[in-house]
Every structure is written in structure tokens, then in C-alpha cells.
Amino acid sequence: MDGLIKEITELNIGKVRENEPLSQHTTIKIGGPADLFIEPSSIENLKKLMEIIRKSKLKWRAIGRGSNLLVSDRGIEGAVIKLGQGIDQIQINGTEVRAGGGQSLISLATNISKQGLSGLEFAGGIPGSVGGAVYMNGGAHGSDISKILNKALILFEDGSLEWLSNEDMKFSYRSSILQKERPGIVVEAIFELQKGEKEKIVTEIKKNKDYRKDTQPWNYPCAGSIFRNPLPNYAGQLIEKAGLKGHSIGGAKISDMHGNFIVNTGSATAEDVLALIQHVKDTIFDLYEIKMETEVEIIGRK
């Protein structure tokens, strides 16, 4: 690992740390150390880094702003690549918006609303990155990324950069081709939006932000929605109906505000959260014979 760190450092690819606690990089504030934690300073440096990782046959994982993630208490083997500063550019050309994978989705939605561009209002309260939202087809309020994405630039493990069209992404509910079929990093995304009334768009985004504040427990560290909605049912409603709101295991607790959120009350471990997830799954199946599937991505050493 020392030789690898030396090579990355000498190429001035970006910030490099060993044994970095991922609790500092996830919204639920849980997660053991990454063997190697790297924040590339540009797309070109990200490409160089991937070449080194491929050559070294090192396991890797990309993250953005750390929402929708539950990292094992034992951490992550190999390299964790964080997209942020340097891969967070925004370009606006008419109704076309090009954004870097490390760009904050909330910031992007807010910025383009001021330009009178409509289509991203649903993202006004989603605390993730552009890359993460494309990766999992993030959405809310009846819309999602698949409705507005034109194409995305993906860096694959073999070092190739390829533009995937909306159709190529094989979007479905909170899913895309990148999750299992073709793992890759969303470097950039191009969205096709519409001209609209600036005041109306700004108001809609504020309304969506306020709705999140009023109905979801962002005053505590959390990962966002834990379960996928088993349509036509809604996960939060099922959990509340089962009397599980407020139930806790260790430092992990099902939010009193919203049944589909598990919060870290201060000392939660990943094991606490996983035990609570399993308890919800067992209870809902016993009561309603409905299988609950996680929306939060669970990663790291087992």
C-alpha cells in the first residue's frame, strides 16, 4: 500500500488519506475506516487514479456526499474515491445543464431555478450529489432523474470514459445499469430542462425543501429513506401502522417523524442499524406478508 500511496501522491492526483473514518463522510455518521481514501482534484486526475487502481488490482468504491449509504463498522477494503471539489462544475447552455458528478444536487437545483429552468424542482431537498442521484435514479415528489437526464459520462474500471444515453442507463425505480450490470463512476451528467417562470420554480423548490424539514428527521444523522416503497404500499406508512415508530436498537432508532427513516441518536453502529432493518423486515412480513427491500446501499466488510 505504501508504494501505491507514493505513486498517487507523486502524481498530485488530490487528497490521499489512509484509514480514513467513513463516519466523517456519510450523512448517518456511521462507518469504519477506508484502507485508502482519495479525493481527486479533477476529472483527468480521476482517470489517472482509476488507471493506477486497475493496474494494482485494488478494490474500489466511489461515493459522493454520503447520503443513502450505510458503511460497515469494519470499514471498506481497498480505495474509496470521493467526488467533490474539482468535479463539481456547472455549465448552462439554454435549457441544457451540464453538471459534474460531485456537484450537490440541492445546490444545482437552487442555482438553475434562479435561471428560470424547470425540471429539477423535485430535487430541492435531496441531500446527495449529481453522481449519486444518477447512479440510483434519485427522485421525490413524483419525479426522478430519468425524467430529465439526456446522457451521463461514465468512467469504467478499465479506464474508458463513455457517454451513456438515458436509454442506455436502464433506469427503473431507484436503480440504474451502474448498480450491478456495469459498475462505473458518474463523472458528468447532462440534463434537458424547460424554460419556466422563475418565481414559480423558486417557490416550488422552497416548498419541497420545507416539506423535507417538516416531515423528515434531518436534525439527526440519517441516511435518507431506508426501504424501497413496496408499491402500492408505502414503506413509512407500513412501519407506522405496525407500531414501529420510535423503536430502537442500541443507538439506532426508527424516527418518530417518519417511519422510513432510521436515525443515529449519537452512538449508533452499523450493526445497530442492520439489526433494526432486520426487525422491520421480519415484523412487516409477519403482519402483512410483504417483503421489504432496502433502498439504502449497505457496503463494506462483513
Q: Active-site positions?
A: 174, 225, 295
SS3 content of the chain, % helix, strand, coil (to 5): 30, 30, 40
Rg of the chain over all Cα atoms, to the nearest angstrom: 19
Closest to 257 measured CA to CA, from 214, 227, 211 = 214
Give the chain's count of helices (H) and strands (E). Answer: 7, 18
DSSP state of 274: H
How far is it, in rounded angstroms, from Cα 182 to Cα 47?
A: 17
Residue 151 and residue 177 in contact, taking contact as beta carbons nearer than 8 Å:
no
Closest to 236 measured CA to CA, from 213, 214, 262 = 262
Residue 252 and residue 28 in contact, taking contact as beta carbons nearer than 8 Å:
no
Residue 50 and residue 157 in contact, taking contact as beta carbons nearer than 8 Å:
yes
**Residue 14 is inside which H or E element, if any?**
strand 14-21
How far is it, in rounded angstroms, from Cα 160 to Cα 154?
A: 8
